[in-house]
A and B are shown apart, each in its own frame.
Chain A
Amino acid sequence: MKKLSLVLALALTLCMLCSSALAETHLNVAWWGNQTRNERTQQVLDLYTQETGTTFDVTMNSFGDYWTTMATASAGGQLPDVMQHSTAYIQQYVDNGLLLDLTPYMESGALDVSNIGESVIDLGRMSGGVYGLCVGTNSMACLYNKTILDNAGIEIHDLMTMDEFMALCKEIYEKTGYKTDLGFGTESYLNYVMRGLGKSLFADGQLGITVEDAEYFFGLYEQGTKEGWLLGGDVFASLVAGSVEQNPMVYGSSPDTMSWCAFNWSNQLVAMQAAAPEGVELALTTQPSPDPVKSGFVACSMYFSVSAKTAEPDASIAFLNYFVNSVEANKIMLGERGIPVSSVVGDAIAGDLDPLTQQVVAFVNNVIVPNSSATPAADPDGASEVYATCRELVEQISYGAISAADAAQQFVETASEILAR
């Protein structure tokens, strides 16, 4: 009896092995994200399986864990067929030959990009190929608590300069007690300000700024600390970094541990509003900069890339094509990954968007697009360590432990050394 069941079990396993080998194409797909994204994407995958028979294995993670997982997978030659990618890491993956150049597939029409603007395609162009297809666009934004400002009778306008914004922070602090989170720990803000000064944080993989430029940036935090309106390291130490739910704009119990604004990506308005207490209305404007037009840019919120080692390049491309061009699929995702890149899809789903998402789309199209400059290149190797250095220095300034001048000196030294490796 025992033997029989063993034989049966073996036979069953064999059958399953055979059937999975004989079955339709199978793809591994990976992305990072939030609950909404996970659910909507899974629905799209299910729909695709119904239509084509292609089955999926998915890996979903939070942003930080995602990159650890992907790095380990790549060390074992096991990168998923299709993976979501970020400007923060894509260059490293391209440099190591881990991603597939999409150009031949766009030329053959297997990947239909006829409704996607050339500028959007260019966002994924690097090292002589297109290694990521941008699946949504967004921009950097200053999300803010409109309710507080309305109650205090303060009005703000888009494209504020640095000086206007700093005066505003002071005024809000004096009138309401709410402090300002001046992009504390938001790594992209450093480059945003540098662009406003006509510089670029990274230039050809090296540091593109001087000590004076850095001192301007750190000086903002020094001034905020001195005037008292800067939300400092003591508050951030007990929050989960990067969490929307624990962002000090929506999380906290008294004004002196909260911020009236949050520097984030435009599409995060939806998640942030969901996390906000009842009765609080959020809105968005541009982040302050010495020159907002020079600073502003339309960004690729995320890419989809195909692994260079995929066993199913054609099926991967076909799926990618469906993902960006299918109206049906995008009616499920509703721009959660940023504004859809296909103009046809964008028009088709416009009516289905909730008012908040419509506000975000209008912001990017009407405020950012006409008032922006070229999108910066993807981050070089070592960028994450440079950002971490900047965060630590900002933290020290908020404790008054270092002057802006010393911080700038230290930043330029450390960052140059990191990038020189």
Chain B
Amino acid sequence: MAQSNAVGMRRPGWAQRLKEWLCRESTAGVICSLPFIIGFVLFLIVPMLLSAYYSFCDYNILAPAEWAGFKNYVKIFTADAKFVKSLGVTFFYALISVPLRLTFALIVALILLKNTKMTGIYRAAYYLPSIIGGSVAVAILWKRMFAIDGTFNTVLNMLGIQSNIAWLGNVSTAIWMLILLSVWQFGSSMLIFLSSLKQIPQTLYEAARVDGARGYQQFFRITLPLLTPTIFFNLVMQMINGFLAFSQSYIITQGKPMNSTLFYVVYMYQQGFEYFKAGYASALAWIMLLIIGAFTGLLFLTKRFWVYEEGN
């Protein structure tokens, strides 16, 4: 009797607690974000942990993974010339194409800042390459344009400049073609620059003009310092993208000629899906993650030397 009473007592308490829990605001928050959380855990956290495990294994995908300790990492750091080569190519690409692209984006943004009737059309036109730029179609277009008998050489010949250079087949020019493609896709950085340019108070310029500041002085003393947070943001995001560049090289050159365009991620893909060494490729992936982390950290450390933050 006493027992059944106790059960009877507990029951409403349990239902009550559930009700209270359901009515809490944080519960609604958790439930609403569940789709994201589940997706994040299932498709990001779990695969990442798996790849961390595989990076310590011999794993050819066909057979179950076999624990191999640090073997993959040791080989990468001691006996893999292509690892060094691809890292060099990737750094070269990222360190040159990103600053170039940002400079270009800033210049175009400054030009498009002036309000004329055509501004909207120009902005859309300059943004267009960024929308289609990452696509396979543009990569294939690029490949055709710079082939020996491609558009670029044809135009040069029409202008009277005899050219039969294989732009993509020449060790010293091929990587520049990929950099050019990347610089051409400056649109998204440009839009971000545009929006922050518009936020610079006009009063600052007026005051400067009253004080007799010339155009370039206004640019270097007002515009550029106030833009540094945006430049910083763009730099970090684009650097990460630069390190992870894949499709341009994979489609246009496949790392050729003589591995001069062998991006790190392309090399990783080769190891994983052409030689079926998934463990080795996982190890490569984790090394890249650490490199990107370290590089981003480094950028953040330099932040206080050159990025203007209001209120400081």
Q: Which residues of B contact A319 (CB under 8 A)?
A: none
Q: Which residues of A contact B148 (CB under 8 A)?
A: 234-235, 238, 257
Q: Is the CB of B143 within 8 A of A238?
A: yes
Partner of B258, one of A98, A252, A396: A396
Binary flags per residue of B199-219, CB closer than 8 Å to A gives 1, else 0: 000000000000000000000
Chain B: how many interface residues by the 8 Å CB criterion? 28
Asked, given contacts A68-B273, A233-B257, whether A238 binds B62 with beta carbons under 8 Å apart, the answer is: no
Nearest CB of B to A389, in Å:
10
Q: Which residues of A contact B61 (CB under 8 A)?
A: 71-72, 74-75
Q: Does A241 contact B (CB under 8 A)?
A: yes
Q: Does B254 contact A (CB under 8 A)?
A: yes
Question: What residue in chain A is nearest B174 (Cβ atoms)?
Answer: A237
Question: What residue in chain A is nearest B253 (Cβ atoms)?
Answer: A237
Nearest CB of B to A186, in Å:
16
Q: Which of A67, A68, A237, A256 has the most CB of B within 10 A?
A: A237
Q: Does B166 contact A (CB under 8 A)?
A: yes
A340-B15 Cα distance, complex, nearest whole Å: 73
Q: Does A96 contact B (CB under 8 A)?
A: yes
Q: Which residues of A contact B166 (CB under 8 A)?
A: 234-235, 237-238
A68-B270 Cα distance, complex, nearest whole Å: 11
A92-B63 Cα distance, complex, nearest whole Å: 9
Q: Does A5 contact B (CB under 8 A)?
A: no
Question: What residue in chain A is nearest B261 (Cβ atoms)?
Answer: A237
Q: Which residues of B contact A392 (CB under 8 A)?
A: 258-259
Question: What residue in chain A is nearest B147 (Cβ atoms)?
Answer: A238
Q: Does A253 contact B (CB under 8 A)?
A: yes
Q: Is the CB of A96 within 8 A of B63?
A: yes
Binary flags per residue of A355-383, CB closer than 8 Å to B gives 1, else 0: 00000000000000000000000000110
Interface residues of A in 382-401 (CB under 8 A from B): 382, 384-385, 388, 392, 395-396, 399, 401
A74-B278 Cα distance, complex, nearest whole Å: 14
Partner of B257, one of A67, A75, A384, A395: A395
A252-B143 Cα distance, complex, nearest whole Å: 14
Q: Does B60 contact A (CB under 8 A)?
A: yes
A237-B275 Cα distance, complex, nearest whole Å: 21
Nearest 6 Cβ contacts at the A-B interface: A234-B169, A237-B169, A234-B166, A238-B147, A71-B61, A253-B149
